[in-house]
Structure 1
Amino acid sequence: MATPMNVVHDFPGAVSMSFLRYAVLSAVVALLLRRVFGWNSVTLKNQKRKPATAPSLIPFISHTIAIASGGEKLFSTFKQYCGLTSPIRFRMLGQDLILLSASDIRKTVHNPHVFTDNKLRARFISNVFGIPQAAADVVGVDNSGSAIRPTPGSNVAPDRRIVRMQQETAFDFLQSKDGISTFLDKFVGFLEQEIATKKIGEEWKEFDDFFDFVRKTSSTAVMNAVCGPRLMQRCPKFVDAFWTFDENVHLLHIQLPKFFIPKAYEARQVCLDALKEWKRNAIETTKGNTYTKEDRWDETWGLQVMRTRNGLYDRFKEYHSDAARAGSDLGIVWASNDNLIPAAFWLVQALVKSPELRDRCLVEINEARLPAVDGDGLPRFDTEILIKQPLLQSAYHEVLRTQVTSFIARDVEQDFVLGDHLLPKGSYALTVPWVENHNKERWESRPGATGHPVEEFWPERFLVPKKDGEGAEFSLKGLEGSFFPFGMGHHICPGRHFATRAILNLVATLVTAFEFEPVEKESWKDPGQNPQTFGYTPFRPTKKLPFRVRKAV
């Protein structure tokens, strides 16, 4: 291999060595100046319009390391920009990332041909869910969007609009009253079964960790509701493997080699192998069966959406492999659990920690309680009444405000002027909802918020006085365009209505049927926020929360 010195010696012509060295050095310095400071006459005008650059110790290197590292470094990088009013640029090796405020990111929704996510999505599903590259590329080249009408300028054929088809199969089911009702009924039924296995009676029973208790209990119920019970009957270790996989999503996303995170790759493989076997069994068992729209759930396929998604992938040859189908199914299982379960934990934890808040919420919960029926193992609730209880809704939304961390990211496909700033082609546009949710000016000015800093979990933050002066009501007024825990635009979470109902049902069931007591009250006072999955899922507690539980008297 030729070194730079070899190249210089081999260069023909009567040019002195000192001049060559000077020329090379000058070129390198000029290139660095242009890259770091944008000093060239052609782009100087545009350079002034680009967003201000976030400070860093080493240009390009510091931001790249912080953002690629994830976890605490990623969290620390962004949390200092709470209250952001203008875009700010993070200079990384190969690509700039531009952090936008909530008001700015909403403007991008109306320009889907400029701000796209198909390539980002393809990279994510390939790296994280192990979907083969050929299958991921079908998503990567689909720039037609998820709306009914293709994005302007898209030339994707109608029968190749996979993102729209995926959206339709999810929305058709999860946005319908019957679909939500079916999902919720199955979830509550499996939740009863799972709690029964804990053998909680009238005597106190101690457990090591409240988060682990809520996570395993509720995620088992969700997974059985989504896929039917046969998945975990065939693979009892699926739940544990899934949460190990979930904790390592960022490291899989950046393609950290298996040598460094063997447990993450092994856990993902356990999940994929189980899903492959489950699907093969479902296809074989139901071969020749005729289904109608009214067949919303069965033990073999679980939710109707799992069966219709399988039919959807029959249209794409790239998805004919077991690996592609299993990776896609893992994506659905992940989306069904990754936000719902931690959010449910934080809400029930808040009620257990504060007897005063629990008692106030119990008054509302009991308004939605249904009369007991023979055979009921746990209390049942009228969900439509439950979701209208003001304090319960406010506390739930305060959990979303303080704990949800998922990013909203887009590729910038062409230069775009946003107010006084130029977002250059080839950069990333990013909004961090957690940052927006900690804007002091916005959140500390809510009615009655004096004395309740933005860092505090204050369950009444979403309550406002009723017009007649009698009591308070839940309200999002004044937060339009700045509070979006479920995403926005056509990419808004299709399962948000189910998630809200499932979380409130889970919380209502647990605090009504059982008495919980913290064992180590100090750890319960401040469980901490583990940023390991920051940008993807809600925080997890940093500490174990020992507790004891018994049936409610």
Structure 2
Amino acid sequence: MSQELHVINDPDLISHVQRERSNKDLEARAITQRTGLVQRFFGDLIGQSKETIEIMTQNLDEKSYEVCHRSDTHRLMSGGLGPTAHSTIQLYRDTLAVIAQEIETMTMGSPECLDLSDWVRKVITLGTAVAFHGPGNPISKSPELIPMLCADVLKKRETLIDEYRKFFAEEANKRDSDKKYSEIIRDIKDLDTQYGFDEDATTRSAFALVSGVTSNSAPATFWIITLVLCNPPLHARIMRELKDAIVLERDEHGAGTPRLIFDIKMIKQKCPLLCATFYEVLRLKTTATVSLRVEKDFLLDGRYMLKKNALIMMPNAALHIDPASWGADAREFRPERFLDSKQHLSASFRPFGAGYNICPGRHLAKDEIIGTAAIVLFSFDMSPGGPSRGDGFRPPKAFGTHVATTVTPSEAFKVKFTPRKELRGAKWSVV
């Protein structure tokens, strides 16, 4: 039996779809969520059992979406990871503190030539794992397990799951005050248990959070650093912003160990071009597609008849390069466009989704991505470390993955990290 498929790229029509998806009149609502993406991520990639997937998708396609595991999880995370929530601030600080420590170690040594993508993934994963699961988590103890988070080595995923199962079993025997993992993880584990998740399922759910966060934040951070390095005038302008936003402290005699004060609020205030670069990277490098189902015949915007059981797909990639919304240079990397307008607030820009599908961790992700890129760019003089050495940086080609909604590089991007002399031995303080 054939099924209608409607691919919607027009921002106004997408807004109409989202409004209908959020219709408070449950009986009148004509558009609902699909279950396929839950199976794809949590089943195929995280390894949740068939029974757990059934719990996660119960009511997902129905009018009673408001009372199901998916919606309850989304509400819990949206509240716990709000822009001013204590959990968001603490998770950000814990993540950046770990990344800063990694950079402090590097600035004490000799120049290193590294694959930027692999290195960024490593430090962000280490920071995220500590922030969410505490310093004793399996990834911190065994960093060699980090590649097992990636889609190309999912056959080895069970090794990491086994380590997490042991970790949470040990934590379960501790008093709540002694447990090291974050408040948001505790709340998610409690919610999962209420819905009937067994020990294996709650372990995979907690693991999925770190996997989901890093699969997007790591490549986004990589692309910010890479595209800045590939554009020397942009690099110079952003460095001027950072030097004005990051406070370098020494003792009264100008000696001693330098201390760098990093405040994300100051970065957002004094580094508009860096923030614009963040938005431009999300515009060009995110590939998320919202997938919905039509529950009954529905006239969209009074013009287009969508038949019952039809599928709706709304791809960000097409929306984000639409000349009607972004101009003739829509396919070009030009961060200044976000300084010139408020397009990042419009229906034409949806890197984090919208409505019921909006990413609850977007505020944390923004601070972590911008913060990591800022610290890395500020700490090192970077030069090409691969075949293009002496000829400047050239951006690698990109391709999407099964896990991430942010594309990843298709080849190694070698960078020579040379610590800035004036920052040798400097200690970072993330506030």
Amino acid at match of 1:444: G
Aligned residue in 1 for 2:229: 352
* Uncovered stretches (5+) of structure 2, i.e. residues with no partner: 22-28, 422-431
Equivalents in 2 of 1:362, 1:394: separation in Å?
Answer: 14
- Match of 1:230, SS state, is coil
Q: Please report the TM-score for the alignment, with normalisation by the length of structure 1.
A: 0.67
Equivalents in 1 of 2:333, 2:347: separation in Å?
Answer: 22
Q: Residues 139 and 205 from structure 1, CA distance in 2 versus in 1: closer, same or farther, beyond 3 angstroms?
A: closer
1:142 Cα deviation after fit: 2.4
1:518 Cα deviation after fit: 1.0
Amino acid at match of 2:364: F
The yes-or-no answer on 1:137 pairing with 2:54 is yes
Equivalents in 1 of 2:210, 2:339: separation in Å?
Answer: 33
1:329 Cα deviation after fit: 1.6
The yes-or-no answer on 1:396 pairing with 2:271 is no
Match 1:225 to one of 131, 134, 137: 131
Match 1:104 to one of 9, 13, 22: 13
Q: Residues 205 and 314 from structure 1, CA distance in 2 versus in 1: closer, same or farther, beyond 3 angstroms?
A: closer
1:344 Cα deviation after fit: 0.6
Aligned residue in 2 for 1:543: 411
Q: Residues 283 and 371 from structure 1, CA distance in 2 versus in 1: closer, same or farther, beyond 3 angstroms?
A: same
CA contact (8 A) 2:129 2:140 kept: no
Aligned residue in 2 for 1:187: 95
Equivalents in 1 of 2:186, 2:160: separation in Å?
Answer: 18
Match 1:173 to one of 76, 80, 87: 80
Match 2:291 to one of 392, 409, 414: 409
State the Cα deviation string for residues 200-254 of structure 1 (Å, max 9, x = none): 44643222x12112121222212221211222245443311112x3x4xxxxxxx
1:309 Cα deviation after fit: 1.1
The yes-or-no answer on 1:277 pairing with 2:158 is no
The yes-or-no answer on 1:483 pairing with 2:359 is no
Equivalents in 2 of 1:237, 1:315: separation in Å?
Answer: 34
1:322 Cα deviation after fit: 2.3
Aligned residue in 1 for 2:322: 439
Equivalents in 1 of 2:291, 2:120: separation in Å?
Answer: 30
CA contact (8 A) 2:289 2:315 kept: yes
Equivalents in 1 of 2:168, 2:2: separation in Å?
Answer: 40
CA contact (8 A) 1:118 1:139 kept: no
- Match of 1:273, SS state, is helix
State the Cα deviation string for residues 119-167 of structure 1 (Å, max 9, x = none): 23542322332212222222322249xxxxxx8x43x7x8x53233212
Equivalents in 2 of 1:172, 1:506: separation in Å?
Answer: 24
CA contact (8 A) 1:301 1:307 kept: no
Moved more, 479-488 or 226-235: 226-235
Aligned positions of 1:53-452 closer than 5 A: 95-101=3-9, 102-112=11-21, 113-117=29-33, 119-124=35-40, 125-143=42-60, 153-154=63-64, 161-175=68-82, 176-196=84-104, 199-201=106-108, 203-207=110-114, 209-231=115-137, 232-243=139-150, 245=151, 247=152, 263-264=153-154, 266-286=155-175, 289=176, 300-317=179-196, 319=197, 321-372=198-249, 379-388=260-269, 389-418=271-300, 419-444=302-327
State the Cα deviation string for residues 494-546 of structure 1 (Å, max 9, x = none): 1111111111111111111111111333693231112344x842111222122
CA contact (8 A) 2:248 2:259 kept: no
Equivalents in 2 of 1:390, 1:234: separation in Å?
Answer: 37
1:548 Cα deviation after fit: 1.0
Q: Residues 189 and 513 from structure 1, CA distance in 2 versus in 1: closer, same or farther, beyond 3 angstroms?
A: same
Amino acid at match of 1:538: T
Compare relative contact order (CA 8 Å, sep 6+) and give the higher one, 1 or 2.
Answer: 2
CA contact (8 A) 2:113 2:416 kept: yes
CA contact (8 A) 1:378 1:513 kept: no
Aligned residue in 1 for 2:400: 531
Q: Residues 268 and 416 from structure 1, CA distance in 2 versus in 1: closer, same or farther, beyond 3 angstroms?
A: farther
The Cα RMSD (Å) is: 2.7
Equivalents in 2 of 1:341, 1:510: separation in Å?
Answer: 13
CA contact (8 A) 1:194 1:221 kept: no
Amino acid at match of 2:215: D
- Match of 1:547, SS state, is strand
- Match of 2:349, SS state, is coil
Equivalents in 1 of 2:121, 2:149: separation in Å?
Answer: 11
1:360 Cα deviation after fit: 0.6
Equivalents in 2 of 1:410, 1:315: separation in Å?
Answer: 27
Equivalents in 1 of 2:110, 2:104: separation in Å?
Answer: 15
Equivalents in 2 of 1:424, 1:329: separation in Å?
Answer: 38
Equivalents in 2 of 1:100, 1:392: separation in Å?
Answer: 31
Equivalents in 2 of 1:376, 1:336: separation in Å?
Answer: 34
- Match of 2:360, SS state, is coil
CA contact (8 A) 1:122 1:137 kept: no
CA contact (8 A) 1:235 1:274 kept: no
CA contact (8 A) 1:516 1:549 kept: yes
Equivalents in 2 of 1:165, 1:376: separation in Å?
Answer: 48
CA contact (8 A) 1:401 1:437 kept: yes
Q: Please report the TM-score for the alignment, with normalisation by the length of structure 2.
A: 0.85
1:409 Cα deviation after fit: 1.1
1:463 Cα deviation after fit: 1.7
Aligned residue in 2 for 1:44: none
* Uncovered stretches (5+) of structure 1, i.e. residues with no partner: 1-92, 145-150, 248-262, 291-297, 446-452, 465-474
1:417 Cα deviation after fit: 1.6
State the Cα deviation string for residues 253-308 of structure 1 (Å, max 9, x = none): xxxxxxxxxx43x222223222222221221233xx35xxxxxxx7x442210011
Identical pairs, percent: 22
Amino acid at match of 1:543: E
Equivalents in 2 of 1:507, 1:132: separation in Å?
Answer: 37
